[in-house]
A and B are shown apart, each in its own frame.
Chain A
Amino acid sequence: AQSVTQLGSHVSVSEGALVLLRCNYSSSVPPYLFWYVQYPNQGLQLLLKYTTGATLVKGINGFEAEFKKSETSFHLTKPSAHMSDAAEYFCAVSENTGNQFYFGTGTSLTVIP
């Protein structure tokens, strides 16, 4: 069975500071891992995904995440936060069939001017 834990339901960073959103997963099979972003009153949008190959994946808007199997982690980072990054971020895991997803509870990112 798969599950996702997102540490920190709320994260605040200053504009220009490093963004780090944490995600740990459990999976009995090689996982597919995803980060989604949700802006207010909108649906979820795919930021990036890891399936196979390179463990450091780059996504949209300057975000990237690294799959670390030994730590069962897939943390999301961005070197310099922008005001427009303020949103809810969801980590998700699925089996390597890529079918049913299991979402974390989300992390709300606030960017302070």
Chain B
Amino acid sequence: DAGVIQSPRHEVTEMGQEVTLRCKPISGHNSLFWYRQTMMRGLELLIYFNNNVPIDDSGMPEDRFSAKMPNASFSTLKIQPSEPRDSAVYFCASSYVGVSGYTFGSGTRLTVV
């Protein structure tokens, strides 16, 4: 298995632009998580899905952030409009509910200028 695949690896965009981050979970995993990592705040859970259904989005900072999981093999995290304070590394992780633990992707480093 190729693991959790995130794209792009790096994204530089101007303030006000729309940004879409993509994630392909491990086949067979039924839970998917989006995290944001910054020096100031560490790892923050933004949202997670079970069986493609959003379960908890309380970590989504504000309405500019949205996430979708149209099927078991794909999820997106969208920021519109983007702001400099959104600059961070965004991780996607997947798991099979139970004991497996998370498998993380390599992350997307977002820079908003």
The chain A residues found within 8 Å of chain B, CB to CB, are: 32, 34, 36, 42-46, 49, 51, 90, 97-101, 103, 105-106
Report which of A44, A97, A105, A106 forms a contact with B104, defined as CB distance below 8 A: A44
B97 touches A49 (CB 8 A): no
List chain A residues, Cβ under 8 A from B34.
none
Report which of A34, A42, A99 forms a contact with B50, defined as CB distance below 8 A: A99
Tell whether A103 pairs with B43 under 8 Å between CB atoms, given A43-B105, A43-B106.
Answer: yes
Tell whether A97 pairs with B42 under 8 Å between CB atoms, given A43-B106, A45-B104, A46-B103.
Answer: no
A106 touches B31 (CB 8 A): no
Docked pose: A62 CA to B48 CA in angstroms: 32
* Chain B residue at minimum C-beta to C-beta distance from A46: B101
B101 touches A49 (CB 8 A): yes
The chain B residues found within 8 Å of chain A, CB to CB, are: 4, 31, 33, 42-43, 45, 48, 50, 56, 91, 93, 95, 97-107
Q: How far is the CB of A85 from chain B (nearest CB, A)?
A: 19
Q: Which of A42, A43, A103 has the most CB of B within 10 A?
A: A43
Docked pose: A14 CA to B107 CA in angstroms: 31
A99 touches B91 (CB 8 A): no
B104 touches A98 (CB 8 A): no
List chain B residues, Cβ under 8 A from A106.
42-43
Q: Which of A42, A100, A106 has the most CB of B within 10 A?
A: A100
Docked pose: A45 CA to B101 CA in angstroms: 10
5 closest Cβ pairs, A-B complex? A43-B104, A44-B104, A51-B99, A43-B106, A103-B43
List chain A residues, Cβ under 8 A from B31.
99
Docked pose: A103 CA to B101 CA in angstroms: 12
Tell whether A49 pairs with B103 under 8 Å between CB atoms, given A99-B50, A103-B43.
Answer: no
Listed by A's residue number, 15 A-B pairs whose Cβ atoms lie within 8 Å are A32-B99, A42-B106, A43-B4, A43-B91, A43-B106, A44-B91, A44-B93, A44-B104, A46-B102, A46-B103, A98-B101, A99-B95, A100-B45, A103-B43, A106-B43
